[in-house]
């Protein structure tokens, strides 16, 4: 019961922080504003997050974990790029549920140097995790260069699609951008 309560508080605090960060920007949002809006103390905030950067990075990590879980759930006989595209499609559906907030958070992440660096680190970790899952599915060693490259290229296609989508304010269909990016990957069966 206590663990569930902690999780609810963390999610609510994170949601309040994400909303403020999306509206006010990274530099324009203080921890004092976040705790005031959430109705908690600074101490409570730091019990759940190390910094305001961690709010966004944990959110991105959760989204990455979701995409990895979607990849794991895909049929084993799907070609790697097809499985990855469909796993990313599930994330696109989540993003589409909250387009304004998602655009603001994507812009914030991509335009704030400290967040962009941490985002790129998380993308590199996710590429390794996805490559390991692709290798497991194929029954080959986890460090299969071809599958590592496939996961990295697919994540780059996703990242470029997200970047273009956020640059145009979410006016373009993110799923269509992702399809276009995947179609541009040469030499693969899509």
* Tens-digit pLDDT profile for residues 52-83: 888 888 888 889 999 999 999 999 999 999 99
Domain that holds residue 148: 52-183
For the chain, what is the domain count? 2
**Looking at the structure, do residues 83 and 130 belong to the same domain, yes or no?**
yes
* Residue at 57 is within a domain: yes
* Residue at 56 is within a domain: yes
Closest CA to 183 of 151, 157, 150, 159: 157
What are the pLDDT digits (tens) for 81-102?
Answer: 999 999 999 999 999 888 888 8
What are the pLDDT digits (tens) for 151-176?
Answer: 999 999 999 999 999 999 999 999 99
For 46-105, give the DSSP string.
Answer: HHH-SSHHHHHHHHHHHHHHHHHHHHHHS-TTS-HHHHHHHHHHHHHHHHHHSHHHHHHH
How far is residue 57's CA from residue 53's CA, in Å, rounded to a whole number? 6
**pTM of the predicted model as reported, rounded to 2 decimal places:** 0.84
Note the pLDDT of residue 190. 42
* Residue at 188 is within a domain: no
């Amino acid at each position: 019961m206590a663990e569930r309560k902690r999780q609810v508080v963390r999610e609510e605090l994170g949601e309040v922080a994400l909303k403020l960060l999306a509206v006010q920007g990274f530099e324009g949002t203080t921890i004092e504003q976040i705790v005031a809006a959430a109705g908690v103390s600074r101490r409570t905030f730091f019990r759940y997050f190390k910094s305001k950067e961690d709010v966004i990075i944990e959110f991105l990590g959760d989204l990455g974990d979701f995409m990895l879980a979607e990849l794991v759930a895909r049929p084993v006989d799907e070609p790697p790029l097809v499985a990855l595209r469909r796993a990313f499609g599930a994330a696109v559906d989540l993003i589409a549920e909250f387009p304004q907030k998602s655009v603001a958070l994507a812009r914030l992440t991509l335009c704030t140097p400290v967040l962009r660096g941490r985002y790129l680190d998380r993308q590199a970790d996710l590429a390794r995790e996805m490559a390991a899952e692709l290798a497991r599915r194929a029954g080959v060693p986890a460090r299969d260069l071809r599958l590592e490259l496939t996961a990295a290229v697919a994540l780059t296609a996703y990242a470029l699609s997200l970047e273009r989508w956020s640059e145009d304010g979410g006016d373009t269909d993110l799923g269509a951008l992702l399809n276009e990016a995947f179609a541009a990957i040469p030499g693969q069966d899509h």
